[in-house]
Structure formats: structure tokens, C-alpha cells
């Protein structure tokens, strides 16, 4: 495949689902580590409690 010199070969990777490198200022936690053997965790954010739940279809839902 020929590319124009101005085209970035990695352009569009995020749109097609390819994972991007994590910026040094970010941290990444695997959901398996976060949930361990549970289906729900509580997150205290500035005094407000949020619930992060794992659904039967393996999706995440965050509620206040």
C-alpha cells in the first residue's frame, strides 16, 4: 500500500479500536484488578459515592 508522505501511518488507529499508548500522566487499572471477585465497587469522589457495576453482558455502568 502506498502512502503519501504527509500521512501518518498510525492515523485512525483509535477510531478502529486499536489501543493507544498510555500517556505518562495517566494510570491504567485493569477491570479484573478493580472488581476482583465482585460485580460492584463504590467510589468516593469528593464526598459523593458512585457505584461502578459490571453487567451480565460485561459492560460497565457508573451511577451516583
* Domain boundary assignment for the chain: 38-63
CATH second-level architecture of 38-63? Ribbon (2.10)
C-alpha cell at 41: 465497587
Q: Are 60 and 31 in contact (CB under 8 A)?
A: yes
The pLDDT of residue 28 is 92
The pLDDT of residue 49 is 98
Q: Is 56 helix (H, G, I), strand (E, B) or coil?
A: coil
The pLDDT of residue 40 is 97
C-alpha cell at 45: 469522589
What pTM, to 2 d.p., does this model score? 0.58
The pLDDT of residue 24 is 79
* Pairing of the two strands 48-54 and 60-63: antiparallel
In the predicted model, residues of the chain with pLDDT beneath 50 are 1-4, 7-15
The pLDDT of residue 39 is 96
Amino acid at each position: 500500500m502506498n502512502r503519501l508522505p504527509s500521512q501518518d501511518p498510525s492515523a485512525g488507529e483509535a477510531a478502529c479500536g486499536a489501543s493507544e499508548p498510555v500517556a505518562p500522566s495517566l494510570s491504567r487499572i485493569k477491570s479484573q484488578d478493580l472488581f476482583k471477585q465482585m460485580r460492584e465497587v463504590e467510589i468516593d469522589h469528593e464526598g459523593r459515592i458512585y457505584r461502578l457495576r459490571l453487567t451480565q453482558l460485561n459492560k460497565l455502568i457508573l451511577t451516583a
